[in-house]
Structure 1
Amino acid sequence: MADPLAEVEFLARSHNRIEILATLAADAYTRRELGDAVDASQPTIGRVLNDLSERGWVDYDGERYAATVTGAYVADGITALRDRLATETRLRPIVDYFPTAAVDVGLDAFADASITTPSTPRPNAPIERMTELLAATDRARLVSHAFNRDKLELLHERAGDGSVTVEGVFAREAIDAIAADDRLAALLGDLLSTPDTEIRVTDEEIPFAVELTDDRTHFLLRDEAGVVRGSLDTADQRVREWAETAFRRYWENASQVSAGDIQSSVR
C-alpha cells in the first residue's frame, strides 16, 4: 500500500501535478486543450498525465483526459490543503494578535482579507488603513475596547459636516481615557452633539476592536501592551454577519453617552 505522506510529497513537489489534476477534476480535456488551460509545456503535461494515470487518478477515453473518482477526491483534498496553507501564510504575521477566541468565524473566511502591518517607512500603516476605510464610508458602526485619537478626530470631522452616521459601543475605560484629556474630551463632546451620532458605553469586556464600514469589516490588532501590531479587513459575508451580531449584542446591553456626560467628567 502506498504511503499517504509519500503521495502528498509527490503532489507537493510539482505545482503542475496539482494544477493538472484539479483541472481534470473539473472537466475533461484533450491534451491540446489542457495545454491551453494550464501553464505548462506539452512535454511536461505528458509526464504529469503518465504519473497521474499510474496512480489511477486520470483516465483517457481515446480523446480526452478526465480525473477518476479517486483522482477528483485527491484533487479536492490537496487543493483545500494548499488553500489553507496559503491563508495561514498570509495570516501568520498577525494571527498572534487576532482575537480568534472571540471571533467565531473560521480562518478560511479571511483568505482574501487585506492585511496591513507597520513597516519602517510606514509605522502607522494599520491606523492609516483604518482611517482610509472610515473616511470613505457613509455609515460607521464600531465596537471596541479602545478609542484612539485618529479615529476620534476623523469621526469628529466627518460627523460635523454630516457625511457619516456613527454608532459606537466602547468599553468604559476607553471613554474614560478620552474624557481625561481636555482636547479629546472636547472633540468627543462635539461628536456626541451631532445629530447622526450615538455612542454607548459598556462595562462588559470587549476583546476586539472592529469597525463595520459600507462594505468592509475591519479589525485593528493590538498586543497585550496595547501597541498596534496590524489591521485586517475583509468583505467576506461570514465575517460581516459575525460582526453585525456582535455589534447588536453589545449595543442592546450598553448605555448611551451624552455630551453632558463628557462635560461632567471633565469638570
Structure 2
Amino acid sequence: MESALEDIEFLALSANRVEVLDAVAEVSHTRRELQERTGASQPTLGRILRDFEDRNWVRQTDREYAATPTGRLVAAGFSNLREIVETEQRLRQVANWLPTESMTFDLRQLRDATITTPTQTRPNAPVQRVLGLLRDAERVEIVSHAFNEQSMNVVRRRVAEEQQTFEGVFSASAIDAIADDSALRERLLELVDLPGAELRIVDDDVPVALTAADDVVHLFLRDGDGLLQASVDTDDDTVLAWAHDVHDRYWNDARPLDAADLAD
C-alpha cells in the first residue's frame, strides 16, 4: 500500500490528474468531456482513469466517470492544500511584515490581494496606492500609528468638498509628530473642524496601519525599524468585516481629538 505522501506526489506531479479529479468530483463526465476540458489525449486519460479506479477515487457508470466519496475527499483536500500554497507563494515576500498578531482572519482571505512594493522607479508606490483609494472613496475609516502628509491632504480636500466622510483613530505619537510641524498642525486643525471628519486618539501603541476606503481594506507593512516595505489591499468581505471591527474597537476606546492636543 502506498503512503499518503506517495499518493500526494502521484497527484501533484500531473496537472492533468488534478484537473480530471476536480472535474469528476464536481459532476459525472464522459471521456470525451474530460478530453475537451483538460486537452489530454485519450491514451493519457485512459491511464489516469485506470490509476484512479485502482485507488478507488473514480467509478465508471455506463459511459460516465464520477468521483467516489473518497475521491471527492481527496479532490477537496488537494484543492485546499493548493489554495494554501498559492496564498503562501503570493504572500511570501511580505509575510514577515504582516501584523498577524492583530489579524483574526484566515490568511487565505488574502489570496487575491493586491501587493504593492517600492521599486527603483516608484519608491513611494505603497503610499501612492492608498492615495488612489482615498481619492475615490466616499467613506474612509483609519486606524494607524501614523498619518502621512499626502493622505491627510487628500482626506482634507475630499471632506471639505463634501465628497467623503472620515473617521480616524491615531496613536498619540502620530498626533504628536504632526503637532511638531506647524504647517501640518494647521492642516490637521482644518480637518478636525470639518463637519464630515472626526478624529480620535489612543494613548497605547497601535500595531496596525489600516485604512478602510469604502469596500477596500489597505494595510501598510513596515519592518522592525518602522520602514515602509509594502502594502496589501483587498476587497474580501471577511477582511473588510475584520477591519471595521478593529476600527470600532479602537474608536470606542479612544478620546476625541481637539485643538488642545495640537497646541504648540
Instruction: Name the counterpart of 1:99.
Output: 99
On the 8 A contact 1:12/1:18 being kept in 2, the answer is yes
Deviates more, 1:119-128 or 1:20-29: 119-128
Change (3 A) 1:50 1:89: same
The Cα of 1:37 is off from its aligned counterpart by: 2.5
- TM-score using structure 1 length: 0.95
Q: Any residues of structure 2 matched to 1:66-81 within 5 Å, and which?
A: 66-81=66-81
Instruction: Name the counterpart of 1:242.
Output: 242
For the residues of structure 1 that align with 2:42 and 2:121, how far apart are their CA atoms?
Answer: 46
For the residues of structure 2 that align with 1:182 and 1:244, how far apart are their CA atoms?
Answer: 32
* Cα shift readout 1:84-103 (whole Å, capped 9, x = no counterpart): 00000001111110000111
2:29 alignment partner, SS class: coil
For the residues of structure 2 that align with 1:14 and 1:119, how far apart are their CA atoms?
Answer: 36
Deviates more, 1:137-146 or 1:219-228: 219-228
The Cα of 1:205 is off from its aligned counterpart by: 2.1
For the residues of structure 1 that align with 2:44 and 2:171, how far apart are their CA atoms?
Answer: 59
Instruction: Name the counterpart of 1:205.
Output: 205
For the residues of structure 2 that align with 1:99 and 1:136, how far apart are their CA atoms?
Answer: 26
Instruction: Name the counterpart of 1:216.
Output: 216
On the 8 A contact 1:193/1:259 being kept in 2, the answer is no
Structure 1: gaps of 5 or more residues = none
1:81 alignment partner, SS class: helix
Letter in 2 for 1:207: P
For the residues of structure 1 that align with 2:105 and 2:173, how far apart are their CA atoms?
Answer: 27
Letter in 2 for 1:50: R
The Cα of 1:260 is off from its aligned counterpart by: 5.1
Instruction: Name the counterpart of 1:6.
Output: 6
The Cα of 1:160 is off from its aligned counterpart by: 2.2
Structure 2: gaps of 5 or more residues = none
For the residues of structure 2 that align with 1:189 and 1:14, how far apart are their CA atoms?
Answer: 62
Letter in 2 for 1:57: W
The Cα of 1:252 is off from its aligned counterpart by: 1.0
* Cα shift readout 1:117-148 (whole Å, capped 9, x = no counterpart): 11222211111111111111001000011111
Q: Any residues of structure 2 matched to 1:58-207 within 5 Å, and which?
A: 58-207=58-207
For the residues of structure 1 that align with 2:150 and 2:93, how far apart are their CA atoms?
Answer: 24
Instruction: Name the counterpart of 1:258.
Output: 258
1:166 alignment partner, SS class: strand
On the 8 A contact 1:217/1:235 being kept in 2, the answer is yes
For the residues of structure 1 that align with 2:48 and 2:150, how far apart are their CA atoms?
Answer: 55
Aligned identity (percent) is 42
For the residues of structure 2 that align with 1:248 and 1:211, how far apart are their CA atoms?
Answer: 13
Letter in 2 for 1:84: I
Equivalenced residues, count: 264
On the 8 A contact 1:28/1:66 being kept in 2, the answer is yes
1:206 alignment partner, SS class: coil
